[in-house]
Amino acid sequence: MIDGIYRVEAKRLADEITETGSYNIEKYPHITGVFTADDGELYSSDEHYLIIEVNDTLYRMEYTIDDKQHGILIINCVLCAILLMMVGLLLYIYRYIITPFGRLNDVPQELARGNLAVPIPEEKSRFLGRFTWGINLLRESIEDSRKKEITMQRDKKLLLLSLSHDIKTPLSAIKLNAKALSKGLYKDEEKRRSAAESINARADEIEGFVSEITKAASEDFMSFTVVMGEEFLSRIVTRISARYTPQLAMSGTEFIIQKYDDCILSCDPDRLAECLQNLIENAMKYGDGKRIELSFDKMDGCALITVSNTGCTLETKELPQIFESFHRGNNADKVQGNGLGLFICKRLMSLMGGEVYAHIRDECFCATLVVKLA
């Protein structure tokens, strides 16, 4: 393609030759040479040229292409290529990320409403494949928990109804013997003694039934799954630090992680991290917000991880009960909670073959996890 500026200069040069019979090539910056057939090079040239006829004479006017125009053309080509790439990327994102994600918009709401039969479309996308797989696992877990809860509630209700019915028989005997004794119907000392023994025996029966009811009511209402494995202590500490260091810094609480020797723990990494999180959350709730500290020790093939917080107001006599379900200490009056955090720690550590205990030192509450070394 010949740019218009070269044609304009060539036309002006041709007009000058027509009028004067001569020309001044210096006035035309893009024209580099003018040749005729007499020069023997009218058509044989590797330069850019333009053939113009003036007064029956053919002139070959050579010209140069502006480098700036070339640069602009290259820039335009690059920008077009980038634009095409962006359009392609946006189409890819829309097709493989936004559209599949849009099909999952209603799933969380349906699960929250209790509709566990909501269809979850399978996605082969590497971006959403694991996500949909996780949602399916969550749905199955909720459904299993619901079934277990329904079964447990039904069994407990049947047990309570059965025990309630069984209690009526000894209770009737007690009432009958007690009424007879109160009215003096038994004149013989032996009969009175027999009636009293009968009352005592029936009371023992009722006491046994009450024990069964208490046991049924205190049975584990939470089921825990532990997958044992091995994990470096440093990776557990890194997870905890990444989660709580920014949060505690914002609240003005000093968070100290003491030095420790890295080691391999025999545990469920996720469950152990959950135990530490429960202890730190407990320290945040019931401490004075000045300092929370993680310290470490080793003893008898176990790693000891201690979470301590300042501002403990718990009484020492309450320490034996703090790991029971729904127990809340005298320092929990103004703090929301359900009394399950330390209970969960106790259960999880027991399932992992470890232990958890607590003590009070220098007005600091200290809770220690005992984890077996691999």
How many whole angstroms separate alpha carbon 195 and alpha carbon 180?
9
Tell me, what's the pLDDT at 47?
62
3-state SS, residue 119? coil
Q: Which of 36-50, 87-101, 298-312 has the lowest mean pLDDT?
A: 36-50
Taking 60 as the threshold, does the pLDDT of residue 30 lie above it? yes
- Mean pLDDT across the chain: 80
Structure confidence by residue, pLDDT tens digits, 236-291: 999 999 888 988 888 899 999 999 999 999 999 999 999 999 899 889 888 898 99
Tell me, what's the pLDDT at 70?
62
Q: What is the pTM of this model?
A: 0.50
Residue with tokens 């013997």: 177
Q: Which of 37-51, 144-158, 172-186, 229-243 has the lowest mean pLDDT?
A: 37-51
Smallest CA-to-CA distance from 282 within 358, 214, 231, 227 is with: 358
Average pLDDT over residues 18-34: 76
Taking 60 as the threshold, does the pLDDT of residue 46 lie above it? no
Helices (H), 1-44: 4-20
Task: Name which residue leads in pLDDT, 150 or 329.
Answer: 150
Cα dihedral sign for 176, 177, 183, 186?
A: positive
Taking 70 as the threshold, does the pLDDT of residue 124 lie above it? no
Taking 80 as the threshold, does the pLDDT of residue 22 lie above it? no
How many whole angstroms separate alpha carbon 306 and alpha carbon 366?
6
Tell me, what's the pLDDT at 68?
58
How many whole angstroms separate alpha carbon 199 and alpha carbon 242?
65
Average pLDDT over residues 284-304: 92
Average pLDDT over residues 146-150: 76
Bridge partners of 34, per DSSP, are 61
Q: Percent of the chain beyond pLDDT 90?
A: 26
Structure confidence by residue, pLDDT tens digits, 56-73: 777 777 777 665 556 677
